[in-house]
Amino acid sequence: MAFMNTNTPEGFRSGFVSFVGRPNTGKSTLTNALVGEKIAIMADQPETTRHPIRGIINREDAQVIVVDTPGVHRPRTLLGERLNDVVRDTFADVDVIGFTVPADEKIGPGDRFILEQIRKTKPNAPIVGIVTKLDKASKDTVGERLVELHELLGEDCEVVPVSAIEAVQLDVLLDILVEHLPEGPQFYPEGHVTDEDTETQISELIREEALQGLREELPHSVAVQIDEMHPDPDNPERLRIYAVLFLERPGQKKIIEGPDGRRLSGIVHRSRKQIIELLGQNVFLDLRIKVLKNWQSDPKALGRLGF
């Protein structure tokens, strides 16, 4: 992060906000809605965000860097343990924590466990309570959740109900987050929406498409890595991308491929469409499947895949 604009107006605020919560509480959807552009993948399955993603929100009076983190949970694999460590490291370095709970689920032991971790790691951090997914619950249920969250966080913490899907109360939430940020310079140039590198963004788009319709454990066994990216020698305006989709067991390959390879073809087709939109240029996508046995619990395999 070499850029830093020190010529910001008096009273300008800037800093880092981390959304923390159980898996599948709508953190990625909320991040994308606030940034105004898709930077984090969204899937129906929990535990699909695997690394912190920075989204940048520019206002005249502030620059907010939102860090979307993996959901904190009691881990079942070495990957799960490493993702929890990533979240703890992330919220140790942020200015404000947005504690997310979904409107349609009661607050439980998992939420209390996460709050405990936050207060151990960052005892003085301002916490803003966020009730997500307003569109999925009745007014009475939302009221119950707001009361529960107030009781959990303490009366001094502000609590905001939002719907990222229907863009309800996003401005209110952003105003509150900005109030808690320190005064400081602009960290990123205007127009930047993320600091994710292109290869990571592309691999995440492919993984999102691969996850569509998967159930049970298989979504957590999917990882994607970009092997190679270069201009097409036969057509310089087209980019050739060679990617590998890793799975843990041979039987999973048949599920991803689908009958006559139709499911895999659909993944390639949808991914290519999203990548073209991201890059603004024509793309040839070659996607192969490899089995990397039990990679979620193998330290060497995790290192190879960047975890």
Known binding residue 303? Answer is no
Q: Where are the beta strands (DSSP E) in 50-196?
A: 53-58, 62-68, 96-102, 127-132, 159-161
Contact 148, 115 (CB under 8 A): no
CA-based nearest residue to 111, from 142, 152, 159: 152
Known binding residue 280? Answer is no
Known binding residue 195? Answer is no
Known binding residue 68? Answer is yes
Known binding residue 175? Answer is no
Known binding residue 22? Answer is yes
Let me know how many helices (H) and strands (E) the chain has, helices first.
Answer: 9, 9
Known binding residue 93? Answer is no
Known binding residue 95? Answer is no
d(CA 273, CA 270): 5
d(CA 212, CA 48): 11
Known binding residue 89? Answer is no
d(CA 127, CA 115): 10
Known binding residue 182? Answer is no
d(CA 126, CA 110): 20
Known binding residue 27? Answer is yes
Known binding residue 69? Answer is yes
CB-facing half-sphere around the CA of 23: CA atoms within 13 A: 17
Known binding residue 6? Answer is no
Known binding residue 254? Answer is no
Known binding residue 72? Answer is yes
**How much is the CA Rg of the chain, to the nearest whole Å?**
20
**What residues are designated binding site?**
21-28, 68-72, 132-135
**What residues are designated binding site for GTP?**
21-28, 68-72, 132-135
